[in-house]
Amino acid sequence: MSVTTKATIASFGGKLLKLSHTAKTTNCEMNFNLYLPPQAFANKKVPLLIYLSGLTCTADNCSEKGFFQHGASKKGIAVLYPDTSPRGLNIAGEDDAYDFGTGAGFYVDATKPPYDKGYNMYSYITEELPKTVFESFKDQIDASRVSITGHSMGGHGALTLFLRNPGKYKSVSAFAPISNPINCPWGQKAFKGYFGEDNQEKWKEHDATELVKKWKGPLNVLIDVGTGDNFYQQGQLLPENFAKAASEAGVTGVNIRYQADYDHSYYTMATFSDDHVEHAAKYLFE
Amino acid sequence: MSVTTKATIASFGGKLLKLSHTAKTTNCEMNFNLYLPPQAFANKKVPLLIYLSGLTCTADNCSEKGFFQHGASKKGIAVLYPDTSPRGLNIAGEDDAYDFGTGAGFYVDATKPPYDKGYNMYSYITEELPKTVFESFKDQIDASRVSITGHSMGGHGALTLFLRNPGKYKSVSAFAPISNPINCPWGQKAFKGYFGEDNQEKWKEHDATELVKKWKGPLNVLIDVGTGDNFYQQGQLLPENFAKAASEAGVTGVNIRYQADYDHSYYTMATFSDDHVEHAAKYLFE
């Protein structure tokens, strides 16, 4: 449970901590970043927003380019930036592609060898990492108020973790989420590799479009998708499938904003991160 | 004079353009980025803020990590991000160090061979690049309203270009500027290489602390320096020398803010860039 502090960086009146710990679920040392807003240093426990990153990213990219700290500093919300996969497990082939293995954990617990040894990002993000953070920062962070968001593969992670765990998170939002992975090349490759080709029931358990069909009540999700996003244009994201499934299931509160010309990059997150922090704040402080 | 558009990226309601042109002063193809705020697309000419980057940076770093677009979008100011040196001139030794040659043009016109062939960042930034931008974006940018800012080596650039050219820029600000290069290792190495060791008069012509002694009237400069900045601690920046020289010369309007714990990174720019845009806006819209 011990956490190593690698750097403490002043940012928007608070501190961005670069941290690492030895994780059991992923069987390796994991880096993560935690932003503590100024309010956390004023004897006040703050709620937590978990931001899940996309393919190829580490804990660093969004903390440098996403500007969540700007909004989080104003609202008084801590932001947790986990890594996107285990690293250095020395599994044959794990470094061969940008969209599978290292940097591409897809927020599932792999069942297929050899990836079942450590590629357990679902358990890591839902259980081990927050437990570690809540214990290490028990005076700063209120473990009872947590929201989740993410980008691309991390948007898939945010939606599926929220939908699989009613009550665990106060709210969810996403940028350019992979919304129907069982029907897009990225998702099919990942699920085949982590679950096996024939395990279709398992695939559905981690598909937001399948999961939303069973959701009860309003979802109150904010999703931003750029119309200039090449991966959206290529059919990797499929937010329309998610919207259709939600609508047919009578799930309300699905706010998908198609942002004209915006692309798949951090410039999009930077532009709209304030809105997503505001969305989370509405439920974290209600 | 022709400009090539390599990318157009939506950012904070406006567009970040990744551009390049063949520059005569630097004798090579130069990349630069230009942010046009939403107001520039509404038949309204906007003023321009030039941001000069520090050692090792390209035109990209600050446009990704500096958060200037956030404030510029609100105020209606275009932001120009130039590169930090010529590239690919094939001068022996130009790639040997991070603090001299490529990525380290120091915003001077070199007089010493072989760097006098192309290392003319002073003329490039004060004349050729803005002329190119004003011609190419004459319907979007008001060439009569330009301010300047920068970080570290770019802070040196902003201060010296402003002080050497009264009336050319409406205002100046800087982050962690190399404020007295003739008295710090970075500056001494650069000026020795670009001007020669014996050309001390030339050195002084590009030293903000020397130049401020001759300034007439208020300077109205905003400078942010982090107390956790290792280069500040090592005596590379020397803002106190600049402040003392200004004070002794009776130059008013020198606002140096020592920001507790902030470091030399883009996290500092991101935190305070809104303030620097606000500072520029005060003079660009007066």
pLDDT digits (tens, 9 = 90+) for A133-181: 999 999 999 999 999 999 999 999 999 999 999 999 999 999 999 999 9
- pLDDT value at position A1? 60
Q: Does A64 sit within 8 Å of B10, measured CB to CB? A: no
Residues sharing a CB contact under 8 Å with residue A261, sequence separation 6 or more, in sequence order: A226, A227, A228, B10, B15
Using CB atoms, which residue from A64, A260, A271 is nearest to B12? Answer: A271
Using CB atoms, which residue from B10, B69, B262 is nearest to A10? Answer: B262
Indicate if B264 belongs to the active site: yes
Residue A43 has pLDDT above 90, yes or no: no
> What's the pLDDT tens digit per position in B234-266?
999 999 999 999 999 999 999 999 999 999 999
- pLDDT value at position A240? 98
- pLDDT value at position A202? 97
Nearest alpha carbon to residue B109 among B119, B95, B99: B119
Residues sharing a CB contact under 8 Å with residue B249, sequence separation 6 or more, in sequence order: B212, B213, B214, B215
- pLDDT value at position B72? 98
Indicate if A207 belongs to the active site: no
Q: Which residue of B has its CA nearest to A16?
A: B267
Per-residue pLDDT of chain B (286 residues; tens, 9 = 90+): 689 999 999 999 999 999 999 999 999 999 999 999 999 999 889 999 999 999 999 999 999 999 999 999 999 999 999 999 999 999 999 999 999 999 999 999 999 999 999 999 999 999 999 999 999 999 999 999 999 999 999 999 999 999 999 999 999 999 999 999 999 999 999 999 999 999 999 999 999 999 999 999 999 999 999 999 999 999 999 999 999 999 999 999 999 999 999 999 999 999 999 999 999 999 999 8
SS (H, E, C) B207-260: CHHHHHCCCCCCCCEEEEEECCCHHHHCCCCCHHHHHHHHHHCCCCCEEEEEEC
| Cut 0.80: pTM above it | yes
CA distances from B42 to A226, B141, B286 (A): 22, 12, 21
CB contacts of A263 in chain B (<8 Å) are 9-10
- pLDDT value at position A86? 98
The whole-angstrom separation of Cα B10 and Cα A199 is 40
Residues sharing a CB contact under 8 Å with residue B48, sequence separation 6 or more, in sequence order: B77, B78, B79, B80, B130, B133, B141, B142, B143, B145, B146, B147
Q: Which residue of A has its CA nearest to B67?
A: A67
Amino acid letter, B251: V
For the question of an ipTM over 0.90, the answer is yes
CB contacts of A232 in chain B (<8 Å) are none
* Mean pLDDT (whole number) for A109-125: 97
Q: Does B226 sit within 8 Å of A263, measured CB to CB? A: no
d(CA B64, nearest CA chain A) in Å:
6
Indicate if B144 belongs to the active site: no
Catalytic annotation, pick one of A206, A264, A276, A279: A264
Each domain of chain B, given as residue ranges in start order, spans 4-285
Would strands A78-82 and A28-36 be described as parallel, antiparallel, or unpaired?
antiparallel
Q: What percent of chain A has pLDDT over 90?
A: 98
Q: Which residue of A has its CA nearest to B74?
A: A271
Max CA separation in chain B (angstroms): 53
Cβ(B174)–Cβ(B162) under 8 Å?
no
d(CA B210, nearest CA chain A) in Å:
32
- pLDDT value at position A229? 98
Q: Which CATH superfamily is domain A4-285 in?
A: Alpha/Beta hydrolase fold, catalytic domain (3.40.50.1820)
The whole-angstrom separation of Cα B243 and Cα B251 is 9
- pLDDT value at position B237? 98
- pLDDT value at position B1? 60
Q: Which two tokens stand for residue B51?
A: 């941001």
Nearest alpha carbon to residue A71 among A256, A276, A224: A276
Size of interface A-B (CB pairs under 8 A): 59
Sign of CA dihedral A277, A21, A155, A250: negative
Would strands B46-52 and B141-150 be described as parallel, antiparallel, or unpaired?
parallel
Q: How many CB atoms lie within 10 A of CB B96?
A: 9
d(CA A261, nearest CA chain B) in Å:
6
Catalytic annotation, pick one of B152, B171, B179, B273: B152
Catalytic annotation, pick one of B206, B264, B276, B279: B264
User: Helix-strand-coil percent breakdown of chain A, rounded to 5?
Assistant: 35, 25, 35
User: What is the phi/psi pair of residue B175, to 5°?
Assistant: -110, 125
Average predicted confidence (pLDDT) for chain A: 97
CB contacts of B259 in chain A (<8 Å) are 10
- pLDDT value at position A57? 98
